[in-house]
Amino acid sequence: MREQVLAKRYAKALFDLGLEEKLLERFGEELGRLKKAFAAEPAMLKLLSLRELKPEKKEKIVESLSGKLLLSPWVKNFLKLAVQRRRIGHFMAMAKAFADLTLASENRLVAKVSAAEQTSLEALRDELKKSLEKLTGRKVEFEIEEKPALLGGFQVTVGDTLYDASLAGELKRLREATWT
């Protein structure tokens, strides 16, 4: 819980700056590059979190990383601040919070769709999108993953809500109904 509050606070500061400077899209892209870099090299994030590592060394690492990833001065300073205040360990949560703020400001949302087979989902894609847009009042984008364990159908997650139209989900509900 504390991590989310902290991440939102840092993300909101960068988001507000991005709005002011009209650089939201650029900041989002740069945070995305940083996320990929940290995901590819998780040791880098741990290294920057070490209390034993001198601040000068951390600053050199941030400068090098910023140069390689072509970060703007704003995002570079954001990264430096997170390192200096020992908050860099929460970077992934900060990047997600920034993306969430950006989506909300553009009246968009990302629905996570899991389907037994992607080909079966393609036929329903437009209808599902229209239904979700009507339900949420926002423009919907999909993040699709194939999940054979669903046996058939699909599941859609919007925020904290799961809509289950899968065969596995139906079997589970039938099993629960017969046992009660």
Domain spans in the chain, listed from the N-terminal domain onward: 2-104, 108-179
Q: What's phi and psi for 19, nearest 5 deg?
A: -65, -50
Tokens matching residue 131? 């239904």
What pLDDT score was predicted for residue 51? 87
Q: What is the CATH number of domain 108-179?
A: 3.40.30
Q: Residue 162's beta-bridge partner residues?
A: 157
In this structure, how many other beta carbons lie within 10 angstroms of the beta carbon of residue 63? 14
Q: What is the pLDDT of residue 119?
A: 75
Residue 91, classified by CB atoms within 10 Å of its CB into exposed (0-12), middle (13-18) or buried (19+), is buried
Q: What's the token pair of residue 21?
A: 């400077």
The rounded distance, in Å, linking the Cα atoms of 84 and 27 is 20
Are the CB atoms for 155 and 163 separated by under 8 Å? Answer: yes
Tens of pLDDT along the chain (180 residues)?
Answer: 677 888 899 999 999 999 999 999 999 999 999 999 999 988 888 889 888 888 889 899 999 999 999 999 999 999 999 999 999 989 999 999 999 999 889 888 888 888 888 777 777 888 888 988 998 889 988 888 888 888 888 888 988 889 888 888 888 898 888 886
**2-104 has CATH 3.30.70.20 classification:** no
pLDDT of the residue at 179: 80
Instruction: Give residue 180's pLDDT.
Output: 66
Q: What is the pLDDT of residue 35?
A: 93
Residue in the structure block whose two tokens are 């996570």:
112
Helix residue ranges per DSSP H, 41-166: 42-49, 55-68, 73-84, 91-105, 118-122, 125-136
Cα–Cα dist 102/100, whole Å: 5
Mapped onto helix, strand or coil, the DSSP state of residue 172 is: helix
